[in-house]
Amino acid sequence: MTAAHALPGPDDALPGAGTDLAEEASAPDDADVIVVGAGFTGLAAAHELALAGLRCRVVESADRIGGLAATFPVGDRQLEQFYHHWFDSDREIFRLCAELGCADLVERHPTSTGVYHANAVYRLSSPLDVLRFAPLPPADRLRLGLSAVRAGRVRHWRELESLTAEQWLVQLGGRRAFEVVWRPLLEGKFGSYASQVGATWMWTKLHLRGGSRSRSGREVLHYLRGGSGVLLEAWRDRLQQLGVELHTGSPVRSVLVGERGVTGVRTGDRTLRARRVLVTTAPGLLAGMLDGAVGAHPALPGLVRRLRAVPYLANLCLVLENRRALSDTYWLNVTDPEFPYVGVIEHTNLDTPDHYGGRHLVYLSKYLPVDAELYRMSDPEVYAHSLPHLRRMFPRFREDWVHRYHVWRAEHAQPVITTGYSRRVPGVECAVPGLYMSSMAQVFPEDRGTNYAVRHGRTAGRLIADRIRTRERAGLRTAPTEEAV
């Protein structure tokens, strides 16, 4: 559910960017592979499948491609609905940019990070900033600063899989640093799941940020000039050149399964046939797509139970187009439990306001269950609810600074990585013949992000292509099954 609002009145509806399958009666109903979802994972998989010479159809429920990196217009530029940046280690996304002719648009930006604690903002962009962090005694500041160094000494994530994030962070930096810094951040992001979050999730965060710093210790991030929309436009063109069919505004209602395996998908009142389906949604959504077929194959009941065992949180982002900057900090973590958001990300402290008509762009981000009060508010209610909290954090802020606001929601934004997660994470190849899945829940031990989405999608595409080639070499190529649906 998305909306954009100019003040004082609402903005016009944003245009769609695709073809509804229900209106395309002439399209053939068979493909070698159907990919469900046109986020970075689905697009990367389709890319690999097309390079292997396979007929691929991508079906997306939203009105545009890109998933959580889908964009909307701000001035004459595009901005991601949910904030995005890249680290030095994000080699897959850099390689994709090079393949699509966008490498020269990738820019490095020194950034500033801070913490909002006890009604004050503290800079935490460098080791020296950590040593000046007044809410902790000097000895605890030193231990906090050494946490990233100690995290980097972990040789393999499996060393941490039996520990919770709390247990490991206390080992690294002490109990006081955990209570002041880490506990509020974990609870702000994961809510009731905070005590269950595994140390592997936290290790990934510290490892990534520690490896994306300049010699001075300051964090350096990457952003594409023009945003993800530029990359997605180039990618769409390349996929269409390769023969990939891209269909947006077409939610898949069910994956069809017979005794011999997958037979296709149903989108609205239309059935699309294929003997191989790759689903790139959250595992719980795939479970819902399989509900009507549980009795069709003996492996389905166990698969559905496993898919439903991976909990997810939603995300709500309030994006402000301001006439003035709130601060000079790019990423502000919030440890105040009274503040309704866990992060204040001022995008134009990463990318210049000149690229957005002089607007200062701010994301207010919150991970939460879909039944949370904030998530269920209307867009105007979200905006009105947020204003007094912003005034408390930034006393100079006035509502007349806001030119326009946008509210974006994603029901499945963050898988909850618990202890022992590697034993529960679903595999790419499912027990049902012809069914594959590739989602953010499976990039473990890394956390979600476009870089890992590209890597995992490409891996899934290559795996499916290899399975098809193996069958062809064995002389097992047959026409799609004609099971009743």
How confident is residue 367, by pLDDT bands cut at 50, 70 and 90? very high
pLDDT of residue 3: 57
Q: Is the pLDDT of residue 7 over 90?
A: no
Residue 274, C-beta contacts closer than 8 angstroms, at least 6 positions apart:
30, 31, 32, 33, 34, 57, 262, 263, 264, 265, 480
Residues 430 and 450 in one domain: yes
Residues 406 and 425 in one domain: no
Per-residue tokens: 298: 């003996």
Q: Rounded to 5, what percent of the chain is helix, strand, coil?
A: 40, 25, 35
Distance between CA atoms of 158 and 430, rounded to whole angstroms?
Answer: 24
Domain containing 24 — which CATH number?
3.50.50.60
Distance between CA atoms of 231 and 410, rounded to whole angstroms?
Answer: 21
pLDDT of residue 481: 39
pLDDT of residue 304: 93
pLDDT of residue 27: 41
Q: Which residue has the higher pLDDT, 312 or 294?
A: 312
The domain boundary, picked from 400, 415, 430, lies at 415
CB 297 within 8 A of CB 304: no
> DSSP letter string over 77-90?
EEEESS---B-TT-
Residues 279 and 255 in one domain: yes
Containing structural domain, residue 320:
313-415
Domain containing 349 — which CATH number?
3.90.660.20
Report yes or no on 6 lying in a domain: no
How confident is residue 388, by pLDDT bands cut at 50, 70 and 90? very high
Mean pLDDT for the chain?
Answer: 89
CB 42 within 8 A of CB 384: no
Sign of the C-alpha dihedral computed for residues 197, 199, 200 and 205 taken in this order: positive
Q: What tens digit of pLDDT does each residue of 94-106 get?
A: 999 999 999 999 9
Residues 424 and 306 in one domain: yes
Burial (CB count <10 Å: 0-12, 13-18, 19+), residue 189: buried
Helix axes 91-99, 450-473, angle to 10 degrees: 70
Q: What is the mean pLDDT of residues 212-224?
A: 72
Q: Is 338 helix (H, G, I), strand (E, B) or coil?
A: coil
Distances in whole angstroms, Cα of residue 286 to Cα of each of 64, 205, 305, 364, 366 = 20, 27, 11, 29, 25
Report yes or no on 452 lying in a domain: yes
Distances in whole angstroms, Cα of residue 40 to Cα of each of 312, 340, 348, 401 = 19, 29, 24, 34
Q: Is the pLDDT of residue 195 over 80?
A: yes
Between strands 120-123 and 2-6, the pairing is unpaired
Report yes or no on 98 lying in a domain: no
Q: What tens digit of pLDDT does each residue of 13-54 get?
A: 333 344 444 433 334 447 999 999 999 999 999 999 999 999
The domain boundary, picked from 415, 434, 465, lies at 415
Give the range among 195-199, 322-326, 474-478 with minimum mean pLDDT.
Answer: 474-478
Distance between CA atoms of 151 and 204, rounded to whole angstroms?
Answer: 9
pTM: 0.89
Q: Is the pLDDT of residue 472 over 90?
A: no
Residues 152 and 301 in one domain: no
Ramachandran bin of 233, using left for φ above 0, alpha for ψ from -120 to 50, beta for the remaining angles? alpha
CB 270 within 8 A of CB 22: yes
Residues 174 and 31 in one domain: no
How confident is residue 8, by pLDDT bands cut at 50, 70 and 90? very low
Between strands 56-59 and 33-36, the pairing is parallel
